[in-house]
Amino acid sequence: FGREWKRVLAPDGDLWLVIGDRHDGAEWVGMDALVIGWLRRTGWRLQSRGFWAQTRSRERWDNRVNYLLRFRKVGQVVRPRGTTLCWMLPLPRSHPASIWDAIPEPVVRTVLEGSKKRGTVLDPFAGAGTVGRVAAFLGREWVGVERDPRMALVTARRLQLRRVRASLPARRRAAR
């Protein structure tokens, strides 16, 4: 994905990811470190790192931290502006049809308000569409990508989208 994101992102665009962690039965995986290393190898540079701590967690091992990672293409440096990227927020209730929890809207709003005002927002893991919902509220264009057709339909219904079927695989469209 990293190379494709780099290809479609504006030269001065930001790539933000929210990364949690999982326990594999023996130890914590360290997903944030794995993703940072992988994106660096595909030409990205980590510009800032924040987190939101969940005040309610489903994890058996009680991991309550999700990292917010901001990347830029190599050569595009952003100086920190003193924005605090640290929240203590409850884990939002999932959309009723969602199999995943959503990112809290205040986190998404802070990220989008700090980006280019007229820039299009690309959400490569659209899930239940929280980023699209906040982008629409802020008057931003939004492109969501979701590989799970069920979640793409949840997002389409939630955001009242019309063009989602055009991006579903042909065999899925034929089944409708």
pLDDT digits (tens, 9 = 90+) for 82-107: 666 777 766 666 555 454 556 777 77
Close Cβ partners of 57 (under 8 Å, ≥ 6 residues apart): 63, 64, 91
The DSSP line for 56-91 is S---TT---EEEEEEEEETT------S---EEEEPP
Question: Is residue 139 scored above 70 in pLDDT?
Answer: yes
pLDDT at position 35: 92
Question: Considering its fold, how many domains does the chain have in total?
Answer: 2
The answer to whether residues 137 and 52 belong to one domain is no
User: Is the CB of residue 86 less than 8 Å from the CB of residue 50?
Assistant: yes
pLDDT at position 173: 47
Please give the model's pTM, rounded to 2 decimal places: 0.72
- Domain of 60 in residue numbering reads as 1-91
Which of 58, 91, 124 is where one domain is finished?
91
The answer to whether residues 25 and 87 belong to one domain is yes
Both structure tokens of 97: 């049809």
Q: How confident is the model at residue 162 (pLDDT cuts 50, 70, 90)?
A: low
The answer to whether residues 125 and 174 belong to one domain is yes
The answer to whether residues 17 and 76 belong to one domain is yes
Which of 49, 75, 91 is where one domain is finished?
91
> Nearest-CA neighbor of 130 among 104, 153, 111, 156?
104
